[in-house]
Structures are given as structure tokens and as C-alpha cells.
A and B are shown apart, each in its own frame.
Chain A
Amino acid sequence: MLTDREVLSTLAMLRNEHLDVRTVTLGVSLFDCASDNFDTFADKVRAKIGKYAEKLVATCDEVGDKYGIPVVNKRISVSPMGVVCASFTSDQMVKACKVLDDAAKAAGVNFLGGFGALVEKGMTRGDRALIDSLPEALAVTDCVCSSINVASSRSGINMDAVALMGETIKSIANRTADRGGLGCAKLVVFANIPQDVPFMAGAYLGVGEPEVVINVGVSGPGVVKKAIDRAMERNPNRTLSDIAEVIKRTAFKVTRVGEIIGTEVAARLGLPFGVADLSLAPTPEVGDSVGEIFQSMGLSSIGAPGSTAVLAMLNDAVKKGGAFASSHVGGLSGAFIPVSEDSSIAAAAACGALTLEKLEAMTSVCSVGLDMVAIPGDTSAATISAIIADEMAIGMINSKTTAVRIIPVPGKGVGELVSFGGLLGEARIMPVPGGNAENFIRLGGRIPAPIHSLKN
């Protein structure tokens, strides 16, 4: 027999606390679709994605229905196209991106990740062709996302790539100026990219992954927040030790949902289950916010002094609880702080309570990085590259994943509003710290791998 508490608690999580499975992502390896003939490549890609994705959406909905917990997004991740399409020109890369876009739409998914490259130590011709194609490719497609890995703890930081990405981000923004620079919201620059992330825009299926796999991304910042609020209310003498325990147990429950649904979707599709990514991923909806957790923990808002400590605790407690809940944990697995995708974080940024500097500090303890940050359209490419370099350094030295998804909004300045729509949300443009990094970025080359990379 189920206890009252079990029933009431599960109902509350579903009804008021926005518990859901944020994404089920089908990973499909496209390495065997590589060809120097574009049409051969295109046919193979369409056929392969079509074959495996055919029942994805319907199966997710059936399983979601069975357990009464919605699978909000169904997505696809593919092998890094910089490798698959290594022999293509930039123009062919654009066409390849369209093939992926069409395949995603045919499958009924809302995003497809993997149009990216791994260039942490150097760039191949294919990688360069892909990066050069990004402004056009991301402008003419809707669903395709890109991730470019420019640094790793083992290889150091490829500063030539960092310089190039600063320029590329500006070009992408200008090419999609009519949509607020939306193209940049589909591109992430990474250090230490995990190769099984189910979330967008960073999802891709790495080398060493199987032919096909199902990865699941859970979520539930609202559930965590409500649990903290209840704990505080019941006992005003709660300490941080107690709160950490509350977060841990709640993360366990949230991850169990993802595990049971992910493994069942995988079983029904006859595919292997990969990982559960137990990240707290917010949406712009009220009550589905990571930022609000900071307030539950006693800060006036995210961005106030104490934010880094709070986030460190939150991120760690989520990992501890989630790790026990899942057979295989992977992806990013922590707390996301995407500015435009979280109404509370966006509000804090808009009123100046949260600055870019504080965000950067917080990225040293959270699971992603500077995410969905809107900056003035006239920010120079070098400054953007320097911001990226800072994030990459944090990731490289601390052996963690960091990333930058930054949007220089053409024609807009500090304080102005940009709206990307849907899950991407809206935000006010944040000021960028002053100073000039042109000469530093112009140096190029590689920042060597840190001493702790010598692990042998």
C-alpha cells in the first residue's frame, strides 16, 4: 500500500512544482554516413535518422502518459558534423545543416544538436569549414544547434579557435539581426564538453558512444525550491546542513523520474539507455526557476554576495542525490544558470543585482557557464573572445565543463529587452566590463594544458 505522504508528495510535484522530464534525447551516430559525395551523405543521414527517430515522439508521449509525467521535449543528438563532413566545403556544410534540420522536423523533435566540432588542440579543414558555415547555417535553419569545444584540461586552450569564435559569434548575430541575434542562442563554445549531454544547445554524440542511444535530461528546480520552502516553514531553525539534505533527497526523487521514464522509453524502442543528466534546468515559466532557489535560501536575489556559495552547495547536493538515483549519470548534471531562460535570473540581471562578473564567478561552481547572456550589439569580437577565454580557463584549470552561449544583440544596448521566444525566453542586455583585449586576442596560439593534465 502506498502511504498518504507518498501519494500527496508525488501529486504536488506534478501539479504545482513543475516536475517533468525535460528531455528525452535520441543519440544517433552518423559516422557511417560520411561520404565525399553530398547526395550519398544526405540520403544516408535522412534514412538513418528517420529509421531510429520514427517512433521517438510517440513512445515518449505514451510512457509520459502511463506515469502521468510529461516528457516535455524530444530531441536528437548526432555525431560532430565537423568529423562526419570533414571533406565538405563551407557551402556544403550549410546544405548539410539543412539536411539535419529537415530530418529533425520530419521526426517531430524540436531541436537537433551536433552540428559542431572539437578543436581544443587544432582545427582540421572540415572543422574550419563548419565554423565558417555557422552564420549562414544557423540563420537558414530552425532546429539545429552547434557546439564547438575549444579547450580541455588535457589539451589546453586553442586561442586561435577562441579568436575565430569571437568573430563567428558576431557574424552569426548580424546574420540573424532581424531575430535579435537568435542564431547565437543555438551555439555554445565549450571547455571539456561532455559527449552525452541531452540538453540543447550543447548536445552531441561523441566518439566512443554507441550507434544509437537514449539519454534523458530531468529537471525540477521548482520541486527543489518548494521542498526548501517547506523545510524552512516547518522548522525555522533549519541550518544549511539540513537544507543540503533536503536538496539531496529531492534531487534523488527528481532523478528517479527521469531514470524510470528514460529506461522505459529505451526499452520500448529497443535501444540502449545511455545516461540520466540530472541537471536543474529552468524554464521561463513562473515556479520553474533556479534563481528562486537562491531566495528560498535567504539571499535577496541571485547575484547578491553569497550566490557563489549557495550555487556550490546546490550543485553539489543535486549531484549527490541524483547519483544514487540513476544507474548511469552523465551529461552536465548540476544546476544551470541561463539568464534568459529563467525569469528570476533574468529579473536579477535586468535590475543590476546580477552582473556578468558575478555570473563568471558562479560558473566556477555550477554545471555550465555563461548561458543565454545578452550583451550589447557593439561588443567587439575580441572582447567576446576574451570572455570566452576566461570561461575556458575556469574549465581547464578546474577540470570541469564550462561554456559560453552569448548573444551580442545587433542594434541594442544595455538595458534594452531582447525576446527569443519559447524556451529561450527573454532578457535585458547586460553590461560588459570595460577594457580592451584586442592585443591579447591577436596573439593567438595555444594556452598550454595545465600541469595537472600530466596524469600518467
Chain B
Amino acid sequence: MYKVVVSFLGRDCPGIVHAVSSLMNELDCNIDEVSQTILHSEFAAIVIADVPDALQIDTLHAKLEAGLEQRKVDLNVTARLFDGSGWGDTIATEPYVVTVDGPDRPGLIAGVTGVFSRHNVNIENLKALMPGGKDDGNALIVYEVAVPLTKDIADLRAELREEADKLAVRVSMQHRDIFEAVHRVQPV
């Protein structure tokens, strides 16, 4: 067996995960881990699976696409080899939460994420909201990021503030622990 990572993207409806998982089961693949998310009408999933050596990755891909079409499930499929190591496995990081809020405008995400990119900061979760409703015009973007331990937080903060000023929005950066400490009673 060897490991693959397959991603699925398309229209959301009940039955997709059943279609995918039963297909993979027919192909003698074993699903190790799944992460899925829904945004409005769209569905996205990342699946890590064990695939029999006899099944080539291109064949797997073709069979998945054909099988889904047959089941009338409208999804794009991509398949790749999975080597098991992620960015976060090799480097020690601390979790921070960066929030950007203010009048919505083009370039908000590109600008702020540019700073992350320059500082080797990885975004682990990202959510963009309009907390006052669509007519309010104010955006709130929450980035849960992993900051390398070697990073000078003051530097990063200063650059984020500079970028926020350019974009006429407010930015704040806090260690993730404070959000959990304040709002959650942790299991013992």
C-alpha cells in the first residue's frame, strides 16, 4: 500500500461523502483521514488514503472521476502522492490569532497575507465575515496562524500594523491561548 492525498471540490448536497467513500472502498482503498468544509453551496474535502500498490495513481484518479459521474455527483478530483510531512512538522511554532477589521475593500487579504508570507508564517485557519451584515460594509477577517518560534513578534506586529494602515483597517495580533482561556472551560 502507498499513501495518496485526494481532494474533491464541487457542489454540495447530501450523499457526496457516501459516494466518495463507497467508491474508494470498491477500489480497495482505506481512508486514513478526512477534512471537509462547506462554503455556501460549495463542498471541499481532502482525503488521505492507503491505496493498493497495484493501483496506479492516474488510474485511481480516472476511476474516481468516472465513478462519481456515474453516481451523478458533480465534483472535481485531484490526486497526488502523499509523503506524510507537513510544513509545521519541521519547524517549531506558536499559535497566534490575527484579526483584521474595517471597511471592506479589494486587496485586504492579499495585503495582510503578503506580510505572513514574507515572515514565513503559515495560515492554519482563515475566516472572512461581515459581522454587521452585508449592508454594513465592514469586514472581519480572522487568521489563525502558526508563527515560527524564531520570529521576532514585535517586528511582525509592526509590519502588520503598517500594512493595516495602508489598507485603512485595524489589525490585532494575540496568542491563541487567550481566546481559549477566556471563553472555554478546558476538559481535564
Contacts and interface: CB of A to CB of B under 8 A. Distances in A.
Interface of A: 1-2, 4, 6-11, 13-15, 65-69, 253, 256-257, 259-260
A10 B175 CA distance: 12
Given A2-B97, A7-B97, A7-B99, A67 B178 contact: yes
A70 to B, nearest CB: 12
Interface stretch (B9-17, B67-75, B124-132): B124-132
Interface stretch (B22-30, B46-54, B112-120, B179-187): B179-187
B177 A1 contact: no
Interface string B154-188: 10010000000000000011111111111110000
Contacts of B178: 10, 67-69, 257, 260
A405 to B, nearest CB: 32
B183 A10 contact: yes
Contact of B177 (A8, A9, A11, A67): A67
Contact of B179 (A2, A15, A65): A2
A13 B180 CA distance: 14
B125 A66 contact: no
B131 A68 contact: no
B171 to A, nearest CB: 11
Among all A-B residue pairs, the 3 with the closest Cβ atoms: A68-B174, A67-B178, A260-B181
Contacts of A10: 174, 178-179, 182-183
A6 B172 contact: no
A13 B99 CA distance: 14
Contacts of A14: 172
A69 B182 CA distance: 12
B129 A4 contact: yes
Interface of B: 97, 99, 101, 125, 127, 129, 131, 140, 142, 144, 153-154, 157, 172-184
B127 A65 contact: no
B182 A257 contact: yes
Contact of B172 (A11, A253, A256, A259): A11
Given A10-B179, A260-B178, A2 B142 contact: yes
A7 B129 CA distance: 11
Contacts of B180: 2
A8 B179 CA distance: 10
A120 B181 CA distance: 41
Nearest to A3: B183
Given A6-B183, A10-B178, 9 more contacts: A1-B127, A2-B125, A4-B142, A6-B184, A7-B140, A15-B172, A68-B173, A68-B174, A256-B181
Contacts of A11: 99, 101, 172
16 contacts: A1-B125, A1-B127, A2-B179, A7-B140, A7-B142, A10-B178, A10-B182, A11-B172, A65-B153, A67-B174, A67-B177, A68-B174, A68-B178, A256-B182, A257-B181, A257-B182
A195 to B, nearest CB: 27
Nearest to B96: A66
Nearest to B129: A4
A7 B140 CA distance: 10
Given A1-B125, A68-B174, A6 B179 contact: yes
A9 B140 CA distance: 13
Contacts of A260: 177-178, 181
B144 A1 contact: yes
Contacts of A8: 131, 140
Contacts of B174: 10, 66-69
Given A7-B97, A7-B99, A7-B142, A67 B175 contact: yes
Contacts of B176: 2
Nearest to B127: A4
A253 B182 contact: yes
Contacts of B97: 2, 7
A67 B97 CA distance: 10
Contacts of B172: 11, 14-15, 68
A259 B144 CA distance: 23
A11 B177 CA distance: 14
B179 A7 contact: yes
Nearest to A249: B183
A260 B182 CA distance: 9
Nearest to B185: A324
A395 to B, nearest CB: 33
A262 to B, nearest CB: 12
Contacts of A259: 181
A25 B179 CA distance: 24
Contacts of B140: 4, 7-8
A288 B117 CA distance: 39
A9 B99 contact: no
Contacts of B99: 7, 11
Contacts of A1: 125, 127, 144
A256 B180 CA distance: 10
A311 to B, nearest CB: 25
A11 B173 CA distance: 10
Contacts of B127: 1, 4
A1 B184 CA distance: 12
Contacts of A65: 153-154, 157
A203 B11 CA distance: 63
A65 B96 CA distance: 12
A260 B157 CA distance: 21
Contacts of A6: 179, 182-184
Nearest to B183: A6
A286 B182 CA distance: 24
